């Protein structure tokens, strides 16, 4: 079967589109990338032919089919290249990767988002505390994923290899420093210090730092970058 012709509609500021960008990079999948400006109303052709919701990422396949939603797009790209092993072959590890992504989206990212967008400093401090409680739980999830002695421990979620769970969450980790961006009473470095001093975040920080190259890569596109 001929390899599919792929067109990725993305925006460089979007962490969800970054999942698809990373999947393309990790699998060295040939594709055309089209930058969509999400700061202005989407053009009619995009809403009509590509994505009626107007969001990025979207993937066009063979000038014909369209796939939406970052995780589904990234998983499709990973599935085109099973030899790269982004999605592990082992059913348990696949379930663990999906579980971590689900938990991060439903709980952790939601807590980070609440703390980031609050302008009231007292409320923000309380919500940052809730973020720490959530991250302590993520730390437990990361430890529990590799309980069996035969399993490799870190630095990535499933061991020494960067896989789909890391790929899906890394663009959000890369923007984690924005959690203090709208606050005048605390810098990110001060908040980071409280994370570093917390013994219940050791594994979380090891995992986060393993994604550091992604953080460096994306920071240049973000506010507070210089």
Ligand X SMILES: N[C@@H](CCC(=O)N[C@@H](CS)C(=O)NCC(=O)O)C(=O)O
The residue range among 48-56, 74-82, 88-96, 125-133 that interacts with ligand X, by the rule CB under 6 A, is: 48-56
Query: Is the separation of the CB atoms in 156 and 163 below 8 Å?
Result: yes
Q: Is 218 in the site for ligand X (CB under 6 A)?
A: no
The residue range among 55-63, 111-119, 157-165, 198-206 that interacts with ligand X, by the rule CB under 6 A, is: 55-63
Query: Which residue lies nearer to ligand X by CB, 37 or 152?
Result: 37
Of the candidates 130, 149, 159, 138, the one whose C-alpha atom is nearest the C-alpha of residue 201 is: 138
Q: Is 9 in the site for ligand X (CB under 6 A)?
A: no
Query: Is the separation of the CB atoms in 82 and 40 below 8 Å?
Result: no
Other C-beta atoms closer than 10 Å to the C-beta of 48 total 10
Q: Is 38 in the site for ligand X (CB under 6 A)?
A: yes
Among 6, 8, 10, 14, binds ligand X (CB under 6 A): 14
Q: Is 21 in the site for ligand X (CB under 6 A)?
A: no
What does the per-residue mask of binding to ligand X show for 107-146, with x meaning CB under 6 A?
----------------------------------------
In the complex, the smallest distance separating the C-beta of residue 68 from ligand X, rounded to whole angstroms, is 7
Among 6, 9, 16, 164, binds ligand X (CB under 6 A): 16
In the complex, the smallest distance separating the C-beta of residue 172 from ligand X, rounded to whole angstroms, is 10
In the complex, the smallest distance separating the C-beta of residue 167 from ligand X, rounded to whole angstroms, is 13
**Which residues 6+ apart lie within 8 Å of 164 measured at CB?**
74, 75, 78, 86, 87, 88, 97, 101
| Alpha-carbon span 195 to 132, nearest angstrom | 8
Query: Which residue lies nearer to ligand X by CB, 20 or 146?
Result: 20
Q: Is 105 in the site for ligand X (CB under 6 A)?
A: no
**69 φ/ψ sector (left φ>0, alpha ψ -120 to 50, else beta):** left
**Which residues 6+ apart lie within 8 Å of 190 measured at CB?**
180
Query: Which residue lies nearer to ligand X by CB, 19 or 203?
Result: 19
Please provide residue 160's backbone torsions phi and psi, each rounded to the nearest 5 degrees: -80, -10
- Burial group, residue 225, by CB count within 10 angstroms (0-12, 13-18, 19+): exposed
| Alpha-carbon span 31 to 64, nearest angstrom | 15
Among 55, 96, 116, 180, binds ligand X (CB under 6 A): 55
Q: Is 169 in the site for ligand X (CB under 6 A)?
A: no
**Which residues of the shown chain bind ligand X in the complex (CB under 6 A)?**
11, 14, 16, 38, 54-57, 69-70
């Amino acid at each position: 079967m001929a390899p599919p012709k792929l067109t990725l509609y993305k925006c460089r500021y979007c962490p969800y589109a970054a999942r698809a960008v990373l999947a393309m990079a990790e699998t060295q999948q040939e594709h055309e990338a089209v930058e969509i400006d999400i700061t202005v109303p989407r053009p009619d052709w995009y809403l009509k032919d590509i994505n009626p919701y107007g969001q990025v990422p979207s993937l066009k396949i063979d000038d014909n089919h369209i796939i939406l939603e970052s995780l589904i797009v990234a998983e499709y790209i990973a599935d085109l290249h099973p030899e790269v092993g982004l999605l592990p072959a082992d059913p348990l590890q696949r379930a663990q990767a999906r579980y971590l992504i689900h938990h991060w989206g439903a709980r952790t990212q939601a807590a980070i988002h609440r703390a980031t967008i609050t302008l009231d400093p007292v409320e923000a401090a309380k919500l940052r505390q809730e973020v720490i409680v959530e991250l302590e739980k993520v730390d437990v999830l990361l430890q529990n994923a590799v309980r069996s002695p035969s399993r490799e421990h870190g630095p990535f979620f499933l061991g020494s290899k960067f896989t789909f769970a890391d790929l899906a969450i890394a663009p959000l980790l890369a923007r984690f420093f924005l959690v203090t961006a709208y606050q005048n009473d605390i810098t990110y470095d001060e908040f980071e210090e409280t994370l570093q001093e917390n013994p219940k975040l050791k594994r979380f920080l090891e995992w986060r730092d393993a994604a550091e190259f992604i953080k460096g890569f994306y920071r240049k596109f973000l506010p507070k970058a210089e």
